[in-house]
Structure 1
Amino acid sequence: MSRYTGPVCRLCRAEGTKLFLKGDRCYTEKCAIARRNNKPGQHGARRGKESEYGLRLREKQKLRRFYCMNESQFRRFYTMATKMPGQTGHNFLQLLERRLDNVVYRMGLGVSRRQARQIVRHGHVLVNGRKVDIPSYLVKAGDKIEISEKSRDLMVIKENAEAASVRTLPAWLEFDVERMEGRVVSLPTRDQIEVPVTEQLVVEFYAR
Protein backbone atom coordinates (compact mmCIF):
# COMPACT_ATOMS: atom_id res chain seq x y z
CA MET A 1 0.00 0.00 0.00
CA SER A 2 1.35 3.44 -0.91
CA ARG A 3 1.56 6.27 1.58
CA TYR A 4 -1.60 8.40 1.86
CA THR A 5 -0.86 12.02 0.93
CA GLY A 6 -4.39 13.45 0.78
CA PRO A 7 -6.18 15.62 3.39
CA VAL A 8 -6.16 13.68 6.67
CA CYS A 9 -9.44 15.19 7.85
CA ARG A 10 -11.16 13.09 5.17
CA LEU A 11 -9.95 9.99 7.00
CA CYS A 12 -11.65 11.08 10.23
CA ARG A 13 -14.86 11.78 8.34
CA ALA A 14 -14.66 8.42 6.55
CA GLU A 15 -14.40 6.62 9.90
CA GLY A 16 -16.95 8.83 11.64
CA THR A 17 -14.70 9.60 14.61
CA LYS A 18 -11.73 11.74 15.61
CA LEU A 19 -8.43 10.06 14.82
CA PHE A 20 -6.38 13.07 16.02
CA LEU A 21 -4.37 13.32 12.82
CA LYS A 22 -4.26 17.13 12.62
CA GLY A 23 -2.68 18.01 15.97
CA ASP A 24 -4.21 20.88 17.94
CA ARG A 25 -6.86 21.52 15.27
CA CYS A 26 -8.62 18.33 16.40
CA TYR A 27 -9.39 19.99 19.75
CA THR A 28 -11.04 23.07 18.25
CA GLU A 29 -14.31 23.85 16.48
CA LYS A 30 -12.39 23.65 13.19
CA CYS A 31 -12.24 19.86 13.52
CA ALA A 32 -13.81 18.20 10.48
CA ILE A 33 -15.93 15.91 12.66
CA ALA A 34 -17.34 18.92 14.54
CA ARG A 35 -18.21 20.72 11.29
CA ARG A 36 -19.31 17.89 8.97
CA ASN A 37 -19.75 14.51 10.59
CA ASN A 38 -20.57 12.62 7.41
CA LYS A 39 -18.52 10.57 4.99
CA PRO A 40 -16.68 12.54 2.29
CA GLY A 41 -17.88 12.41 -1.28
CA GLN A 42 -21.07 13.08 -3.19
CA HIS A 43 -23.06 10.38 -1.38
CA GLY A 44 -21.36 10.70 1.98
CA ALA A 45 -24.52 11.65 3.84
CA ARG A 46 -26.12 8.32 2.94
CA ARG A 47 -25.06 5.82 5.58
CA GLY A 48 -26.43 2.40 4.72
CA LYS A 49 -26.58 -0.58 7.03
CA GLU A 50 -23.09 -2.02 7.61
CA SER A 51 -22.52 -5.72 6.94
CA GLU A 52 -20.67 -7.91 9.46
CA TYR A 53 -17.62 -7.85 7.22
CA GLY A 54 -17.90 -4.10 6.71
CA LEU A 55 -18.14 -3.49 10.46
CA ARG A 56 -14.90 -5.39 11.10
CA LEU A 57 -13.18 -3.77 8.13
CA ARG A 58 -14.05 -0.30 9.39
CA GLU A 59 -12.65 -1.06 12.86
CA LYS A 60 -9.44 -2.34 11.32
CA GLN A 61 -9.10 0.72 9.07
CA LYS A 62 -9.91 3.03 11.96
CA LEU A 63 -7.18 1.54 14.16
CA ARG A 64 -4.65 1.49 11.32
CA ARG A 65 -5.28 5.12 10.49
CA PHE A 66 -5.26 6.08 14.17
CA TYR A 67 -1.62 4.95 14.36
CA CYS A 68 -0.80 6.21 10.82
CA MET A 69 0.46 2.89 9.51
CA ASN A 70 0.25 1.20 6.14
CA GLU A 71 -1.35 -2.24 5.78
CA SER A 72 1.86 -4.29 5.62
CA GLN A 73 3.25 -2.67 8.79
CA PHE A 74 -0.07 -3.06 10.55
CA ARG A 75 -0.45 -6.73 9.68
CA ARG A 76 3.13 -7.45 10.74
CA PHE A 77 2.36 -6.11 14.21
CA TYR A 78 -0.82 -8.19 14.33
CA THR A 79 1.18 -11.32 13.47
CA MET A 80 3.58 -10.49 16.31
CA ALA A 81 0.63 -10.14 18.69
CA THR A 82 -0.75 -13.59 17.78
CA LYS A 83 2.54 -15.20 18.86
CA MET A 84 2.51 -13.59 22.31
CA PRO A 85 0.83 -15.18 25.36
CA GLY A 86 -2.45 -13.60 26.45
CA GLN A 87 -5.28 -11.94 24.52
CA THR A 88 -4.32 -11.11 20.96
CA GLY A 89 -6.30 -7.86 20.90
CA HIS A 90 -4.66 -6.54 24.06
CA ASN A 91 -1.22 -7.63 22.86
CA PHE A 92 -1.82 -5.88 19.54
CA LEU A 93 -2.74 -2.56 21.14
CA GLN A 94 0.21 -2.78 23.51
CA LEU A 95 2.63 -3.32 20.61
CA LEU A 96 1.17 -0.34 18.74
CA GLU A 97 1.50 1.86 21.83
CA ARG A 98 5.11 0.78 22.35
CA ARG A 99 6.20 2.10 18.94
CA LEU A 100 8.73 4.89 19.41
CA ASP A 101 6.82 7.37 17.24
CA ASN A 102 3.70 6.79 19.37
CA VAL A 103 5.65 7.21 22.62
CA VAL A 104 7.13 10.50 21.38
CA TYR A 105 3.58 11.62 20.52
CA ARG A 106 2.16 10.48 23.88
CA MET A 107 4.87 12.46 25.67
CA GLY A 108 3.76 15.55 23.77
CA LEU A 109 6.92 16.04 21.70
CA GLY A 110 4.85 15.78 18.53
CA VAL A 111 1.42 17.36 18.00
CA SER A 112 0.42 14.35 15.92
CA ARG A 113 1.80 10.87 15.29
CA ARG A 114 2.85 11.95 11.80
CA GLN A 115 4.93 14.78 13.21
CA ALA A 116 6.33 12.51 15.94
CA ARG A 117 7.37 10.01 13.27
CA GLN A 118 9.20 12.76 11.38
CA ILE A 119 10.99 13.85 14.57
CA VAL A 120 12.18 10.27 15.11
CA ARG A 121 13.25 9.79 11.49
CA HIS A 122 15.31 12.97 11.53
CA GLY A 123 17.39 11.59 14.37
CA HIS A 124 16.26 13.95 17.14
CA VAL A 125 15.39 11.18 19.63
CA LEU A 126 17.67 9.13 21.87
CA VAL A 127 16.71 5.88 23.58
CA ASN A 128 18.93 5.02 26.54
CA GLY A 129 21.50 7.50 25.23
CA ARG A 130 21.64 6.12 21.67
CA LYS A 131 20.11 7.70 18.58
CA VAL A 132 17.17 5.70 17.23
CA ASP A 133 15.65 6.87 13.94
CA ILE A 134 13.30 3.92 13.42
CA PRO A 135 9.68 4.92 14.20
CA SER A 136 8.59 1.29 14.68
CA TYR A 137 11.24 0.63 17.36
CA LEU A 138 9.55 -1.02 20.34
CA VAL A 139 10.34 0.55 23.69
CA LYS A 140 10.58 -1.52 26.88
CA ALA A 141 9.76 -0.79 30.51
CA GLY A 142 12.56 1.32 32.00
CA ASP A 143 13.71 2.83 28.67
CA LYS A 144 14.79 6.47 28.79
CA ILE A 145 13.51 8.61 25.92
CA GLU A 146 15.03 12.05 25.35
CA ILE A 147 15.65 14.72 22.75
CA SER A 148 19.28 14.92 21.65
CA GLU A 149 21.29 17.85 22.97
CA LYS A 150 21.71 19.50 19.57
CA SER A 151 17.97 19.28 18.81
CA ARG A 152 16.62 20.85 22.00
CA ASP A 153 16.72 24.37 20.57
CA LEU A 154 14.57 23.51 17.54
CA MET A 155 11.51 25.75 17.68
CA VAL A 156 8.97 23.02 16.89
CA ILE A 157 10.31 20.76 19.64
CA LYS A 158 10.48 23.57 22.19
CA GLU A 159 6.92 24.66 21.45
CA ASN A 160 5.62 21.09 21.64
CA ALA A 161 7.43 20.47 24.94
CA GLU A 162 5.97 23.64 26.46
CA ALA A 163 2.46 22.66 25.36
CA ALA A 164 3.01 19.15 26.76
CA SER A 165 3.53 20.58 30.26
CA VAL A 166 -0.23 21.16 30.63
CA ARG A 167 -1.34 17.82 29.18
CA THR A 168 -2.08 14.65 31.08
CA LEU A 169 0.42 11.89 30.42
CA PRO A 170 -0.62 8.24 30.24
CA ALA A 171 0.09 6.49 33.56
CA TRP A 172 2.72 4.25 31.97
CA LEU A 173 4.91 7.19 30.92
CA GLU A 174 6.66 10.05 32.67
CA PHE A 175 8.18 13.16 31.10
CA ASP A 176 10.33 16.03 32.40
CA VAL A 177 9.69 19.13 30.27
CA GLU A 178 12.73 21.05 31.52
CA ARG A 179 15.15 18.23 30.73
CA MET A 180 13.21 17.09 27.65
CA GLU A 181 13.43 13.49 28.69
CA GLY A 182 11.01 10.85 29.81
CA ARG A 183 10.83 7.24 30.85
CA VAL A 184 8.69 4.22 30.12
CA VAL A 185 7.52 3.42 33.65
CA SER A 186 5.78 0.19 32.64
CA LEU A 187 4.19 -1.46 29.64
CA PRO A 188 0.66 -0.13 29.02
CA THR A 189 -2.32 -2.17 30.16
CA ARG A 190 -5.59 -2.19 28.21
CA ASP A 191 -7.29 0.34 30.51
CA GLN A 192 -4.39 2.76 29.97
CA ILE A 193 -4.73 2.74 26.17
CA GLU A 194 -7.25 5.23 24.79
CA VAL A 195 -8.26 4.20 21.29
CA PRO A 196 -11.69 4.70 19.60
CA VAL A 197 -12.00 1.04 18.52
CA THR A 198 -13.14 -2.38 19.65
CA GLU A 199 -9.96 -4.40 19.16
CA GLN A 200 -11.80 -7.75 19.16
CA LEU A 201 -13.42 -6.80 15.85
CA VAL A 202 -9.97 -6.20 14.38
CA VAL A 203 -8.86 -9.63 15.58
CA GLU A 204 -11.96 -11.19 14.04
CA PHE A 205 -11.26 -9.41 10.73
CA TYR A 206 -7.78 -10.94 10.44
CA ALA A 207 -8.85 -14.34 11.82
CA ARG A 208 -11.70 -14.79 9.34
Structure 2
Amino acid sequence: MARYTGPKTKVSRRYGTLIHGSPKAFERKSYPPGQHGPKGSRRKLSDYALALAEKQKLRFQYGVLERQFRRYFALASSKRGVTGEILLQLLETRLDNVVQKLGFAKTLRAARQLVSHGHVTVNGRKTNASSMNVKPGDKVAVKPAERSKRLAVKAIDQTSAHATPDWLQVDKDALVGTVVRIPTRDDINPIVNEQLVVELYSR
Protein backbone atom coordinates (compact mmCIF):
# COMPACT_ATOMS: atom_id res chain seq x y z
CA MET A 1 0.00 0.00 0.00
CA ALA A 2 1.44 3.38 -1.00
CA ARG A 3 1.78 6.26 1.43
CA TYR A 4 -1.32 8.48 1.46
CA THR A 5 -0.73 11.86 -0.20
CA GLY A 6 -4.32 13.00 -0.71
CA PRO A 7 -6.38 15.66 1.10
CA LYS A 8 -5.58 15.68 4.82
CA THR A 9 -8.95 16.89 6.03
CA LYS A 10 -10.68 14.09 4.10
CA VAL A 11 -8.93 11.54 6.33
CA SER A 12 -9.98 13.43 9.46
CA ARG A 13 -13.60 13.48 8.28
CA ARG A 14 -13.51 9.77 7.50
CA TYR A 15 -12.52 8.84 11.06
CA GLY A 16 -14.28 11.66 12.92
CA THR A 17 -11.06 12.99 14.51
CA LEU A 18 -8.81 15.87 13.46
CA ILE A 19 -5.65 14.00 12.43
CA HIS A 20 -4.19 16.45 9.92
CA GLY A 21 -5.47 19.37 7.92
CA SER A 22 -7.37 22.51 8.79
CA PRO A 23 -9.54 22.55 11.94
CA LYS A 24 -11.87 25.01 10.20
CA ALA A 25 -12.47 22.66 7.28
CA PHE A 26 -13.08 19.77 9.67
CA GLU A 27 -15.52 21.78 11.78
CA ARG A 28 -17.40 22.85 8.66
CA LYS A 29 -17.83 19.24 7.49
CA SER A 30 -17.24 16.91 10.43
CA TYR A 31 -19.17 14.01 8.88
CA PRO A 32 -17.54 11.36 6.65
CA PRO A 33 -16.93 12.27 3.01
CA GLY A 34 -19.10 10.76 0.28
CA GLN A 35 -22.22 11.39 -1.76
CA HIS A 36 -24.56 10.49 1.11
CA GLY A 37 -23.25 13.23 3.37
CA PRO A 38 -24.17 13.18 7.08
CA LYS A 39 -26.69 10.34 6.54
CA GLY A 40 -23.88 7.96 5.66
CA SER A 41 -22.38 8.28 9.16
CA ARG A 42 -25.41 6.92 11.03
CA ARG A 43 -24.75 3.23 10.52
CA LYS A 44 -23.52 1.27 13.52
CA LEU A 45 -19.99 -0.10 13.23
CA SER A 46 -18.94 -3.57 14.33
CA ASP A 47 -16.26 -4.07 16.98
CA TYR A 48 -13.84 -5.08 14.24
CA ALA A 49 -14.60 -1.93 12.23
CA LEU A 50 -14.06 0.25 15.31
CA ALA A 51 -10.70 -1.39 16.05
CA LEU A 52 -9.65 -1.12 12.41
CA ALA A 53 -10.52 2.59 12.40
CA GLU A 54 -8.37 3.16 15.49
CA LYS A 55 -5.43 1.44 13.79
CA GLN A 56 -5.90 3.48 10.63
CA LYS A 57 -6.05 6.73 12.59
CA LEU A 58 -2.74 5.86 14.25
CA ARG A 59 -1.19 4.97 10.90
CA PHE A 60 -2.28 8.23 9.30
CA GLN A 61 -1.21 10.27 12.33
CA TYR A 62 2.39 9.08 12.00
CA GLY A 63 2.36 8.55 8.24
CA VAL A 64 3.52 4.93 8.27
CA LEU A 65 2.72 2.14 5.83
CA GLU A 66 0.85 -1.00 6.85
CA ARG A 67 3.98 -3.14 6.68
CA GLN A 68 5.87 -0.65 8.84
CA PHE A 69 3.02 -0.56 11.33
CA ARG A 70 2.97 -4.35 11.62
CA ARG A 71 6.70 -4.31 12.26
CA TYR A 72 6.27 -1.72 15.03
CA PHE A 73 3.52 -3.82 16.60
CA ALA A 74 5.66 -6.97 16.47
CA LEU A 75 8.52 -5.10 18.12
CA ALA A 76 6.21 -3.66 20.80
CA SER A 77 4.79 -7.13 21.48
CA SER A 78 8.28 -8.56 22.01
CA LYS A 79 9.18 -6.01 24.69
CA ARG A 80 8.31 -6.24 28.36
CA GLY A 81 5.58 -3.83 29.39
CA VAL A 82 2.22 -2.59 28.12
CA THR A 83 2.16 -3.35 24.40
CA GLY A 84 -0.12 -0.45 23.48
CA GLU A 85 2.00 2.15 25.27
CA ILE A 86 5.24 0.74 23.84
CA LEU A 87 3.72 0.92 20.35
CA LEU A 88 2.88 4.59 20.89
CA GLN A 89 6.41 5.25 22.15
CA LEU A 90 7.98 3.62 19.10
CA LEU A 91 5.86 5.75 16.79
CA GLU A 92 6.39 8.93 18.78
CA THR A 93 10.18 8.58 18.82
CA ARG A 94 10.50 8.23 15.05
CA LEU A 95 13.03 10.77 13.80
CA ASP A 96 10.60 12.57 11.49
CA ASN A 97 8.12 13.02 14.36
CA VAL A 98 10.87 14.30 16.67
CA VAL A 99 12.07 16.78 14.04
CA GLN A 100 8.54 18.16 13.80
CA LYS A 101 8.09 18.26 17.59
CA LEU A 102 11.36 20.22 17.90
CA GLY A 103 9.95 22.80 15.49
CA PHE A 104 12.46 22.23 12.70
CA ALA A 105 9.59 21.44 10.31
CA LYS A 106 6.01 22.66 10.24
CA THR A 107 4.39 19.34 9.30
CA LEU A 108 5.26 15.68 9.47
CA ARG A 109 5.60 15.53 5.69
CA ALA A 110 8.00 18.48 5.76
CA ALA A 111 9.99 16.80 8.55
CA ARG A 112 10.26 13.58 6.56
CA GLN A 113 11.49 15.54 3.55
CA LEU A 114 14.00 17.47 5.67
CA VAL A 115 15.46 14.19 6.93
CA SER A 116 15.39 12.35 3.59
CA HIS A 117 17.21 15.23 1.89
CA GLY A 118 20.05 15.00 4.40
CA HIS A 119 19.46 18.23 6.33
CA VAL A 120 19.40 16.52 9.75
CA THR A 121 22.08 14.84 11.88
CA VAL A 122 21.74 12.52 14.87
CA ASN A 123 24.67 12.63 17.30
CA GLY A 124 26.71 14.43 14.65
CA ARG A 125 26.07 11.91 11.88
CA LYS A 126 23.97 12.70 8.84
CA THR A 127 21.03 10.38 8.25
CA ASN A 128 18.25 10.18 5.70
CA ALA A 129 16.25 7.52 7.58
CA SER A 130 13.15 9.28 8.86
CA SER A 131 11.92 6.03 10.42
CA MET A 132 14.85 5.59 12.81
CA ASN A 133 14.00 5.70 16.50
CA VAL A 134 15.84 8.11 18.74
CA LYS A 135 16.88 7.28 22.31
CA PRO A 136 17.41 9.29 25.50
CA GLY A 137 20.58 11.35 25.15
CA ASP A 138 20.46 11.52 21.35
CA LYS A 139 21.09 14.95 19.85
CA VAL A 140 19.07 15.83 16.78
CA ALA A 141 20.48 18.81 14.91
CA VAL A 142 20.12 20.67 11.65
CA LYS A 143 23.19 20.55 9.42
CA PRO A 144 25.29 23.73 9.50
CA ALA A 145 24.84 24.18 5.74
CA GLU A 146 23.19 27.49 4.85
CA ARG A 147 20.23 25.93 3.02
CA SER A 148 19.56 23.51 5.88
CA LYS A 149 19.58 26.30 8.46
CA ARG A 150 17.35 28.49 6.31
CA LEU A 151 14.70 25.77 6.03
CA ALA A 152 14.75 25.10 9.79
CA VAL A 153 14.66 28.77 10.80
CA LYS A 154 11.65 29.35 8.55
CA ALA A 155 9.84 26.42 10.19
CA ILE A 156 10.73 27.65 13.68
CA ASP A 157 9.18 31.03 12.87
CA GLN A 158 6.01 29.28 11.70
CA THR A 159 5.79 27.00 14.75
CA SER A 160 6.89 29.48 17.44
CA ALA A 161 3.47 29.26 19.14
CA HIS A 162 3.79 25.50 19.65
CA ALA A 163 5.32 24.32 22.92
CA THR A 164 8.11 21.73 22.87
CA PRO A 165 7.13 18.50 24.69
CA ASP A 166 8.71 17.94 28.11
CA TRP A 167 10.57 14.86 26.91
CA LEU A 168 12.53 17.00 24.45
CA GLN A 169 14.82 20.00 24.88
CA VAL A 170 15.63 22.38 22.06
CA ASP A 171 18.10 25.20 21.47
CA LYS A 172 16.44 27.07 18.63
CA ASP A 173 19.40 29.37 18.13
CA ALA A 174 21.83 26.50 17.69
CA LEU A 175 19.18 24.36 15.92
CA VAL A 176 19.90 21.42 18.21
CA GLY A 177 17.44 19.27 20.12
CA THR A 178 18.06 16.63 22.79
CA VAL A 179 15.93 13.61 23.69
CA VAL A 180 15.63 13.84 27.46
CA ARG A 181 13.62 10.66 28.03
CA ILE A 182 11.18 8.27 26.41
CA PRO A 183 7.71 9.87 26.36
CA THR A 184 4.95 8.43 28.54
CA ARG A 185 1.39 7.88 27.38
CA ASP A 186 0.40 11.14 29.08
CA ASP A 187 3.10 12.97 27.10
CA ILE A 188 1.82 11.50 23.84
CA ASN A 189 -1.87 12.04 24.64
CA PRO A 190 -2.99 9.73 21.80
CA ILE A 191 -6.04 10.39 19.65
CA VAL A 192 -6.85 6.67 19.61
CA ASN A 193 -7.65 3.85 22.01
CA GLU A 194 -4.47 1.87 21.49
CA GLN A 195 -5.89 -1.12 23.37
CA LEU A 196 -8.31 -1.68 20.49
CA VAL A 197 -5.33 -1.77 18.12
CA VAL A 198 -3.65 -4.39 20.30
CA GLU A 199 -6.85 -6.46 20.31
CA LEU A 200 -7.13 -6.13 16.53
CA TYR A 201 -3.67 -7.63 15.95
CA SER A 202 -4.20 -10.23 18.66
CA ARG A 203 -7.24 -11.80 16.95
Could you say which TM-score interval applies, normalised by the shorter chain? over 0.9
Let me know the Cα RMSD of the aligned residues: 1.3
Partner of 2:35: 42
Partner of 1:33: 26
Per-residue CA deviation, residues 26-63 of structure 1 (Å, 9 max, x unaligned), is: 35x3xx21110011111242211111111101100011
TM-score relative to the length of structure 2: 0.94
1:181 to 176, 179, 182: 176
TM-score relative to the length of structure 1: 0.92
User: How far, CA to CA, are the matches of 1:183 and 1:112 in structure 2?
Assistant: 19
Question: SS of the counterpart of 2:57?
Answer: helix
Partner of 2:56: 61
Native 8 Å contact 2:120 2:141 kept in 1: yes
Per-residue CA deviation, residues 104-134 of structure 1 (Å, 9 max, x unaligned), is: 0111112111111111100000000000110
Native 8 Å contact 2:59 2:65 kept in 1: yes
User: How far, CA to CA, are the matches of 2:161 and 2:34 in structure 1?
Assistant: 38
For structure 2, the residue ranges without an aligned partner over 5 or more in a row are none
1:205 maps to 2:197: no
Question: What is the deviation of 1:7?
Answer: 1.6
1:9 maps to 2:9: yes
Identity of aligned residues (%): 46
Native 8 Å contact 2:142 2:149 kept in 1: no
Question: SS of the counterpart of 2:11?
Answer: helix
Moved over 4 A (4+): none
Shifted more, 119-128 versus 105-114: the winner is: 105-114
Question: What is the deviation of 1:68?
Answer: 0.8
Question: What is the deviation of 1:162?
Answer: 2.2
Native 8 Å contact 1:152 1:180 kept in 2: no
Structure 2 counterpart of 1:34, which letter? E
1:107 maps to 2:102: yes
Native 8 Å contact 1:56 1:202 kept in 2: yes
Question: What is the deviation of 1:6?
Answer: 2.0
Partner of 1:51: 46
User: How far, CA to CA, are the matches of 1:40 and 1:187 in structure 2?
Assistant: 37
Question: SS of the counterpart of 1:119?
Answer: helix
User: How far, CA to CA, are the matches of 1:14 and 1:161 in structure 2?
Assistant: 31
User: How far, CA to CA, are the matches of 2:7 and 2:97 in structure 1?
Assistant: 21
Question: SS of the counterpart of 1:175?
Answer: strand
Structure 1 counterpart of 2:118, which letter? G
Native 8 Å contact 2:152 2:175 kept in 1: no
1:90 maps to 2:85: yes
Structure 1 counterpart of 2:67, which letter? S
User: How far, CA to CA, are the matches of 1:110 and 1:137 in structure 2?
Assistant: 17
User: How far, CA to CA, are the matches of 1:140 and 1:3 in structure 2?
Assistant: 26
Structure 1's 66 and 10: CA in aligned 2 closer, same or farther, altered over 3 A? same
